[in-house]
């Protein structure tokens, strides 16, 4: 395990790099979700499954979260995208890395999908866990996290869950994003994992995305929640088996 500090436009990003062995290998960049961190148990479990399949992992805290710089209030999807692109640049400088995969949970899953669409020449595959494809749609409709607002007159601040505050710029930037365009631009292999007991992100959005992606496998886990805390071993088996199949196909 190697603790890293990666810089993005003056912001310090805290990351952990772990390898399955000393040989060259593909690497998965792993992004957490909204209000979460790189050390969340289901994120750590997903990384363990990736390494069991022979993939290195680099999990990081994104802007305004965990041990990274920036205030939570000021984070936006644009900033998370910028963070991810900077981490990709770092990973591309590592001699042992053969291919780069992106993975993310919830808002991190949306971010991974967006970056995959931006850089399909650099990203070999995507592993998206309960990706929050609905965030841009909700921002345009004026309803997010139980907070309703006029989408044409976005408030400067919003009080949201857990007593946290978001800047209106979070909504303004989200309104400009269209995940469908990113999906259409990505030709590589995609694994979508979603629990059918997810009460935060609609499983129907993952089903729709799976049909839209050109090369996608969808795994719906019965009874699983948004945070994969009921059947984490099932999630791990799905990830491990899919990545093992990717290596065999090379």
Q: Which DSSP string do the residues of 184-204 spell out, in sequence order?
A: HH--SEEEEEEETT-SSS-HH
Please check whether residue 154 lies inside any domain of the structure. Answer: no
pLDDT tens string 176-211: 999 999 999 999 999 999 999 999 999 999 999 999
pLDDT tens string 37-55: 999 999 999 999 999 999 9
Say if CB 43 and CB 105 are below 8 A apart. yes
Please check whether residue 171 lies inside any domain of the structure. Answer: no
Please check whether residue 172 lies inside any domain of the structure. Answer: no
Please check whether residue 108 lies inside any domain of the structure. Answer: yes
**Dihedral sign from CA coordinates of 40, 46, 50, 51:** positive
Query: Which strands, in side-by-side order, build the sheet including 97-105?
Result: 2-8, 11-18, 56-60, 25-31, 97-105, 125-129, 189-195, 215-221
C-alpha distances (whole Å) from 31 to each of 34, 68, 94, 156, 245 are: 10, 13, 19, 27, 22
Is the pLDDT at 82 greater than 90? The verdict is: yes
Domain of 56, CATH number, reads 3.40.50.1820
Say if CB 244 and CB 53 are below 8 A apart. yes
Please check whether residue 214 lies inside any domain of the structure. Answer: yes
Number of Cβ atoms within 10 Å of the Cβ of 124: 18
Is the pLDDT at 161 greater than 80? The verdict is: no
**Residues in CB range of 186: below 8 A, 6 or more apart:** 113, 116, 117, 120, 123, 126, 213, 214
Show the domain range for 185.
2-133+179-249
Percent of the chain with pLDDT over 70: 100
Per-residue pLDDT, 184? 98
Three-state DSSP at 90 gives: helix
Please check whether residue 174 lies inside any domain of the structure. Answer: no
**Dihedral sign from CA coordinates of 134, 35, 76, 80:** negative
Per-residue pLDDT, 22? 86
Cα–Cα distance between 60 and 28 in angstroms, integer?
Answer: 11
Please check whether residue 153 lies inside any domain of the structure. Answer: no
pLDDT tens string 114-154: 999 999 999 999 999 999 999 999 999 998 877 889 999 99
Please check whether residue 47 lies inside any domain of the structure. Answer: yes
Cα–Cα distance between 186 and 171 in angstroms, integer?
Answer: 25
The two structure tokens encoding residue 64 = 């305004």
Say if CB 232 and CB 223 are below 8 A apart. no
Give the model's confidence band at 78: pLDDT under 50 very low, under 70 low, under 90 confident, else very high.
very high
Cα–Cα distance between 78 and 172 in angstroms, integer?
Answer: 10
Q: How many domains does the chain have?
A: 1
Say if CB 81 and CB 109 are below 8 A apart. no
């Amino acid at each position: 395990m190697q603790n890293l500090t990666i810089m993005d436009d003056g912001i310090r990003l805290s990351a952990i790099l772990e390898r399955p062995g000393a040989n060259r290998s593909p690497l998965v960049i792993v992004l957490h979700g909204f209000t979460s961190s790189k050390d969340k148990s289901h994120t750590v479990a997903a990384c363990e499954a990736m390494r069991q399949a022979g993939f290195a992992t680099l999990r990081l805290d994104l802007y305004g979260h965990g041990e990274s710089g920036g205030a939570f209030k000021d984070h936006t999807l644009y900033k998370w995208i910028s963070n991810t692109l900077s981490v990709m640049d770092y990973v591309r400088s590592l001699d042992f890395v053969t291919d780069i995969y992106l993975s993310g949970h919830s808002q991190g899953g949306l971010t991974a999908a967006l970056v995959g669409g931006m850089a399909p020449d650099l990203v070999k595959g995507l592993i998206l866990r309960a990706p929050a494809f609905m965030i841009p749609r909700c921002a345009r409709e004026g309803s997010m996290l139980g907070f309703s607002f006029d989408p044409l007159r976005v408030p400067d601040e919003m009080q949201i869950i857990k007593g946290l505050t978001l800047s209106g710029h979070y909504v303004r930037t989200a309104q400009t994003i269209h995940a469908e365009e990113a999906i259409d631009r990505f030709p590589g292999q995609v694994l979508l994992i979603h629990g059918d007991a997810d009460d935060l992100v609609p499983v129907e959005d993952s089903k729709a995305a799976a049909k839209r992606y050109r090369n996608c496998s969808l795994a719906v886990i019965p009874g699983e929640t948004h945070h994969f805390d009921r059947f984490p071993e099932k999630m791990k088996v799905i990830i491990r088996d899919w990545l093992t199949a990717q290596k065999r196909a090379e």
